Amino acid sequence: MKPLHIETPLFESRPLSIQAGRSVWLKLEALQPPGSFKIRGIGHACQEYVQRGAKRLISSSGGNAGIAVAYAGRHLSVPVLIVVPETTSDRAKALIRQEGAEVIVHGDSWQEANELAESAVGESDVLVHPFDDPLVWQGHSTLIDEVAGSDVKPGALVVSVGGGGLLCGLVEGMRRNGWSEVPVIAVETEGADSLAQSTRAGHRVELSAITSLAITLGAKKICQRAFDCTRDHPLHSVVVSDRAAVAACQRFLADHRVVVEPACGASLAAVYDGAPEMDDFESVLIVVCGGATTTLEQLEEWADGNV
């Protein structure tokens, strides 16, 4: 079956390369039709579930995962229900509804929305997890196949980490393509740094709250497989401030004319601001993971405010 994601542009960024003093490659996942890399993994998982007989797709993500499930459902001709908390922005709800999905607003937090979503799951429905599912990782791994197929092999990969699904998928793809020695520079924002804290502690740490504005990175705990990746793949953890992530989004807009979320800006900030973890590498590839819920106005508000 034809995948639901598209093959995205891969090129060397002149402005980022000059700024970083090394070769900086971009994989532009921001240009996936639903706005982020999420459609790779979620699209693949939804295709599988529908093929196995699922009659309806359910998600409790008001972010890019929910948008990807809605997009997948429309293309697979199955109904989609997305339960989101009251904190979800009007723009996010509009993007989900635009894909034809039903949106139910319930509860003050994601936990409450997720509980309702779980209770709505009928016999032939499937609740799609945003990051902790081997099918999702398998879909994300196709990103590395595309890069390797273009004969590009960077010295290191720069990746944003939320729950760690993208990380798991990329590590899977790197193994398949003989890139096991290529390190991952895993980037989070302060207040959403569950991977950084877990690597320091030597076990998975659950954050008591998410205090970063990069809510897309706001998984309180990374999945077990992502934690395992920090041990069996070379990995450097980097944490940047919200302010740096927002500034990087604005700079990227000026340099490449694409709006991305601070979740993605985190990875861009690590390169724009020359994180020392980059020093050993002649070239890096940034997974420009994208994000559909941020607007230009929102970026300006964050930049003007005291983030």
Ligand X SMILES: *Cc1c(COP(=O)(O)O)cnc(C)c1O
Which positions touch ligand X (CB under 6 A)?
36, 38, 64, 131, 160-167, 216-217, 219, 261, 263-264, 289-291
210 or 219, CB closer to ligand X? 219
131 or 272, CB closer to ligand X? 131
22 or 266, CB closer to ligand X? 266
Core vs surface per residue 178-216: b (16+ CB within 10 A) or e: ebeebbbbbbbbbbbbbbbbbbeeeebbebeebebbbbb
24 or 171, CB closer to ligand X? 171
Q: In angstroms, what is the minimal distance from the CB of 27 to ligand X?
A: 13
Three-state SS at 157: strand
How large is the C-alpha radius of gyration of the chain? 18
22 or 221, CB closer to ligand X? 221
C-alpha atoms less than 13 angstroms from C-alpha of 109 in its C-beta half-sphere:
6
User: Taking the mean position of all CA atoms in its chain, how far away is CA 144?
Assistant: 15
Q: In angstroms, what is the minimal distance from the CB of 153 to ligand X?
A: 23
Cβ atoms of residues 139 and 170 within 8 Å: no
Q: In angstroms, what is the minimal distance from the CB of 298 to ligand X?
A: 14
Q: In angstroms, what is the minimal distance from the CB of 299 to ligand X?
A: 14
DSSP class of residue 78 equals -
Q: In angstroms, what is the minimal distance from the CB of 169 to ligand X?
A: 8
| Order of strands across the sheet that contains 80-84 | 102-105, 80-84, 56-59, 125-127
Sign of CA dihedral 295, 300, 306, 307: positive
125 or 261, CB closer to ligand X? 261
Q: In angstroms, what is the minimal distance from the CB of 151 to ligand X?
A: 26
Q: In angstroms, what is the minimal distance from the CB of 217 to ligand X?
A: 6
Q: How many angstroms separate the CA atoms of 45 and 137, rounded?
A: 9
C-alpha atoms less than 13 angstroms from C-alpha of 31 in its C-beta half-sphere:
11
Sign of CA dihedral 16, 17, 22, 27: positive
Q: In angstroms, what is the minimal distance from the CB of 124 to ligand X?
A: 27
Q: Dig out the tokens for 73 from the structure.
A: 């459902």
66 or 154, CB closer to ligand X? 66
Q: How many angstroms separate the CA atoms of 256 and 279, rounded?
A: 24
Three-state SS at 167: helix
Three-state SS at 108: coil
Phi, psi for residue 186 in degrees, rounded to 5: -95, 120
22 or 293, CB closer to ligand X? 293
